[in-house]
Amino acid sequence: LGIEALAVVDRNSLAGIVRAHEAAKTTGVRLIVGCRLDLADGMSVLVYPTDRPAYSRLCRLLSLGKGRAGKAKCHLEWDDVVAYGEGLIAVLV
């Protein structure tokens, strides 16, 4: 289809990134890794790490939210996103 790059996000997770990475390698499409964060106040934000340290911070942010909420859930506040947000590009949904 002529697509050069594709951004893929999961909700409050990075679980699908491994399969997306494998598909990107197979097809030659550049993968842009991201995550949709559904915050406790009802706001949603797409976040895209710009480098490995930012990806690590995103993983820690998700671990924080999942630790608070329990299995298959995530509880994050805007202040959490700000605290872990260095190197993340954020897009309000």
Domain residues for 33? Answer: 5-92
Q: Each residue of 19-73: pLDDT tens digit?
A: 999 999 999 999 999 999 999 999 999 999 999 999 999 999 999 999 999 888 9
Q: Each residue of 8-18: pLDDT tens digit?
A: 999 999 999 99
CATH number at residue 61: 3.20.20.140
Distance, CA of 42 to CA of 24 (rounded, Å): 32
Structural domains counted in the chain: 1
Query: Any idea what the Cα angle at residue 29 is, between residues 28 and 30, rounded to 5°?
Result: 115
Q: Each residue of 75-89: pLDDT tens digit?
A: 999 999 999 999 999
Model-level pTM greater than 0.75?
Answer: yes
For residue 6, pLDDT over 90 is answered with: yes
Distance, CA of 86 to CA of 54 (rounded, Å): 6
Structure tokens at 81: 């996103």
